[in-house]
Amino acid sequence: DAKTTQPPSMDCAEGRAANLPCNHSTISGNEYVYWYRQIHSQGPQYIIHGLKNNETNEMASLIITEDRKSSTLILPHATLRDTAVYYCIVSLGTGGFKTIFGAGTRLFVKA
Amino acid sequence: NAGVTQTPKFRVLKTGQSMTLLCAQDMNHEYMYWYRQDPGMGLRLIHYSVGEGTTAKGEVPDGYNVSRLKKQNFLLGLESAAPSQTSVYFCASSSLAGTDTQYFGPGTRLTVL
């Protein structure tokens, strides 16, 4: 599975959009991009995933570049409860036993 | 739907003691996983199961054993606990439906003295 690169930390003002980048330059054509987050010491929570097209759900939007070498997770109106570690993962989507959770990006949402 | 539950939430062991962590899911998922997370680090896969009666090693399997006798349960055992096994343990499950979306439990915080 391809590796991902994320900034170690980011800040965002409450109410503003949080844009979290992820590089996955070695991604293969059949690998998905997944995003999870982990709030404090809780279990990771699935946010969104995509293959080629941009995706949106009630939590966030996922923008994948045309060459698929990078993506951005967008939280449109960040709240203090969005403060968490965000993990970008590349996976074939055939079972999580090859899923690699790196260090992620620690997002601080400030009032 | 309770989702994924883990028992116990906290445990303190002495070196050499044994214990079993229980994971249960009510989503009829085929795949189940055990991860450990050390301070400031990402999750590392210990063992996983692709169905009832099957288990396989992950990235860091040494010192742990697992069993999946029932589809809804996945047990993680420590036969002789060591201080290096002090960690937070997370269980997760996912379905066979061609997606890698994993649903995680709340975690078990284990301290080995």
Q: Which residues of A touch B98 (CB under 8 A)?
A: 93-94
What are A43-85's pLDDT values in tens digits?
999 999 999 989 999 999 999 999 999 999 999 999 999 999 9
Computed on alpha carbons and rounded to an integer, the radius of gyration of chain A in Å comes to 13
Q: Is B43 on the interface with A (CB under 8 A)?
A: yes
Judged by CB atoms closer than 8 Å, whether chains meet at A99 and B100 is answered as: yes
Judged by CB atoms closer than 8 Å, whether chains meet at A46 and B101 is answered as: yes
What are B45-96's pLDDT values in tens digits?
999 998 999 999 998 999 999 999 999 999 999 999 999 999 999 999 998 7
pLDDT of residue A103: 86
What are A14-40's pLDDT values in tens digits?
999 999 999 999 998 888 999 999 998
pLDDT of residue A28: 87
Is the pLDDT at B19 greater than 70? The verdict is yes
Q: Is A106 on the interface with B (CB under 8 A)?
A: no
Interface of B with A in 67-106 (CB under 8 A): 88, 90, 92, 94, 98-106
Q: How far is A3 from chain B, CA to nearest CA, in Å?
A: 13
Q: How far is B12 from chain A, CA to nearest CA, in Å?
A: 18
Residue A92 tokens read as: 């074939």
Question: What DSSP string runs through A1-31?
Answer: ----B--SEEEEETTS-EEEEEE-TT--TT-
CA angle (A84 as vertex; A40, A44 as ends), nearest 5: 70
CA angle (A39 as vertex; B59, B111 as ends), nearest 5: 55
Judged by CB atoms closer than 8 Å, whether chains meet at B105 and A43 is answered as: yes
Is the pLDDT at A1 greater than 60? The verdict is no
Q: What percent of chain B has pLDDT over 70?
A: 96
